[in-house]
Structure 1
């Protein structure tokens, strides 16, 4: 029987991966409630959040921003379309519509921009890597929520590898359709075929 509350309590470290099921152009009541519940479940614990969600809502939900990394970027930031410089600017800062360095158009700072300016997340990624090293051979709970195959190299495959290497880990993979767990995780992988936002509200 699944007992996520017990697994959270028993873990030394909690690694959360948020994917496409959490992405939204507007903050709905359901999504806000799910974020708030997730935050309350893990507050005062040693956690880290990796998100491929590009809407930026998580940064307004009371999580510790020092424990969040968003390697796919954020719709709320702009970059030079030509990537002439490493600078990024928040929308509404009066920067205008063109790069002040070269005059090229500004576009959203996300992986969908080609080329993608990675300045916004790289320092935080190093913090995440250091945190992950500390979890080695410790009780690690991996909560993979709503992660599909848009960018599987960021969360989905690394979480599988981490769970495989850490014999004290436990991986929850929650997704409405893409919930399958690799055979090599044996009893450490838990597959939950439910929309992850709805599941978060229900547990």
Structure 2
């Protein structure tokens, strides 16, 4: 495991340099993790999403997020290019998972009970056992199709604030994708969990910064 911190190259890049880096690649894959999860869409988080949307505008990108706060859906990012496999607290499901139906919180059945079985309604997130996955599966299929197109093409992976809460969703798959695609470049930005595997042959870049703050500083 490579535990060396980023050597200054990445954080010294200007916004223009990052624009050039993005334009050099055919596909841009972004992972958004726990550092971006917040009870409120504060100014800093809002600015970070705004900067991310601006950086990705006009590119062929996809965003995978494990943040369950739902804020990403209120940004300028293309909703058809986002998948949230861990769910969204703004949607509710049957706690017994008797059906695959989910409801927006504001449109939920009266009484907070499932209209099919009477069980209580709970947030539609991976924290619930069982978890109703139907809400994200169409976008996951779109993501898998997009990812297949990126094979053997110039791919930039930008992992932002992803820890080990659900490593099988972003962290480990991104490492595998970067390893398999020899034309890829991988950036991992995290305040503490910035470490990289040793098998990326110099294509991996670790940035030991809070990813929200880092993106706002570009």
Q: TM-score range by the shorter chain?
A: over 0.9
1:60-85, Cα deviation, whole Å (9 max, x unpaired) = 11111000000000000000000000
The answer as to 2:60 corresponding to 1:46 is yes
Aligned ranges for residues 17-166 of structure 1 at < 5 Å?
Answer: 17-96=31-110, 97-166=112-181
Offset of residue 92 of structure 1:
1.1
* 1:153-192 superposed Cα distances (whole Å, 9 cap, x missing partner): 0000000000000000001000000000100012110000
Count of residue correspondences: 203
Residue 194 of structure 2 corresponds to: 179
Which consecutive aligned stretches of 4+ in structure 1 deviate over 4 angstroms post-superposition? none
Counterpart CA distance in 1 for 2:138 and 2:19 is 32
> How far did 1:5 drift?
2.9
Q: Please state if 1:15 is matched with 2:36.
A: no
Structure 2: give runs of 5+ residues left out of the alignment.
1-8
Normalization by structure 1: what TM-score? 0.98
- TM-score normalized by structure 2? 0.92
Give the RMSD, CA atoms, in angstroms.
0.8
The structure, 1 or 2, with the larger RCO (C-alpha pairs under 8 Å, 6+ apart) is: 2
Q: How many Å separate the matches in 2 of 1:170 and 1:199?
A: 18
> Post-superposition shift, 1:94?
4.4
